[in-house]
Amino acid sequence: MRTSATNRVAGLVVLGALLAVVAFLSVTQGSRSIDLADVLRALGNLGAGDDGTVTSTVTLELRVPRTLLGVLVGAALGVAGAILQGVTRNPLADAGIMGINSGAAAFVVFAITVLGVRGAGVYVWFAFAGAILATVLVYAIASMGREGATPVKLALAGAAVTAGLGSLTSAIVMTNIDALNELRFWQVGSLAGRYLPILTGVAPFLILGLLASLALGRMLNGLALGEDVARGLGQRVGLTRTAAFGVVAILAGAATAACGPIVFIGLVVPHLARFLCGPDYRWILPYSMLLAPVLLLLADVLGRIAGAPGELQVGVVLAVLCAPVFIGIVRYARLAEV
């Protein structure tokens, strides 16, 4: 047991070092070619702020906030996916099928068409509200009946809410060209154009949610044994599910609001974490917290380099990278064991 714990801690250290390397690449590499020495000089003047040079502006006002947001959003989506898979006991659970993405999109469309809102810095809060309300709606529907919010009812409620809100959103954008133009840039999932105000706006929610998630590991382990066993061990299953969905709503809601619906992170990363550290959620959660931003920032850097002088959005790159990885997990890592 000690050796196993030591290996898991060593794995976290390695992932932390890998995250630092990828974050450094995210700050120093991009579609605009800038000498490494100039980037380091700008970082050295971080406390003094932007000095007006192109290098300083690109580094401090674009790349650094983008990298920090990528770290937080990646960690949030990875942990939210792990919690959802644990609480629903569904290996395919992620923010997309729990209504979070569709709720955020519906409120973005509402803000654009009804209130005339423009720009990610403004409608990010509408997306956050929509994600939260959609999560609450899914949980409320699933909780109806004597059995409460069982895994099957949660999955069905999520699918129903996602389909309903998705159809409503599609009906609106097909008749409103302005809403369609605004929504299509948000909906692809991207870290581009997310500047410091968005980072500072969602960071408190993401940090709070990540800290709260670390307290859920033991409770998720109980649910993994089955509801009857969990109750026999003295666990309050309903309270555990409520707490878990609350944390997921904060994490996935804030992350989706800031960057749009970034696919595959919440679905693939928990399985990779489980493959590396085993079925214990006390380890799966911190592993997911480090693995997800590594994958997200790596995809973002590749998209900037491959698409230069423009860039490929991170949601597109992730779909290309993660699809074969997920197929490999299904084939070799026994996906059904959550």
Q: Give me 181's structure tokens.
A: 């133009």
Type of residue found at 210: L
Annotate 6-43 with three-state secondary structure: HHHHHHHHHHHHHHHHHHHHHHHCCCCCCCHHHHHHHH
What are 256-300's pLDDT values in tens digits? 888 888 878 988 899 989 889 988 999 999 999 999 999 999 999
Is the separation of the CB atoms in 126 and 182 below 8 Å? no
Mean pLDDT over 85-110 rounds to 83
Identify which of 188, 185, 336, 322 has the alpha carbon closest to the alpha carbon of residue 264.
Answer: 322
Mean pLDDT over 45-49 rounds to 62
Q: For residue 65, is the peptide bond before it cis, meaning its omega torsion is within 30 degrees of 0? A: no
Mean pLDDT over 95-104 rounds to 82
Type of residue found at 220: L
What are 206-228's pLDDT values in tens digits? 999 999 999 998 888 888 877 77
What are 20-45's pLDDT values in tens digits? 999 999 988 876 777 777 777 777 76
pLDDT winner (highest mean) among 41-55, 144-158, 290-304: 290-304
Q: Give me 130's structure tokens.
A: 């929509």
Predicted pLDDT at 72:
95
Predicted pLDDT at 2:
46
From 1.10.287.1120, 1.10.8.50, 1.10.3470.10, 1.10.569.10, which CATH number describes the 2-332 domain? Answer: 1.10.3470.10
Percent of the chain with pLDDT over 90: 22
Q: How far apart are CA 247 and CA 202, in angstroms?
A: 14
Other C-beta atoms within 10 Å of 77: how many? 31
Cβ partners under 8 Å of residue 10, min gap 6? none
Q: How confident is the model at residue 337 (pLDDT cuts 50, 70, 90)?
A: low
Q: How far apart are CA 338 and CA 336, in angstroms?
A: 6
Predicted pLDDT at 247:
92
CA distance to 172, 189, 199, 300, per residue, from 120 (Å): 19, 12, 12, 19
pLDDT at 164 over 80: yes
What residues does each domain of the chain span?
A: 2-332
pLDDT at 239 over 50: yes
CA distance to 3, 93, 238, per residue, from 98 (Å): 38, 7, 18
Mean pLDDT over 102-120 rounds to 80
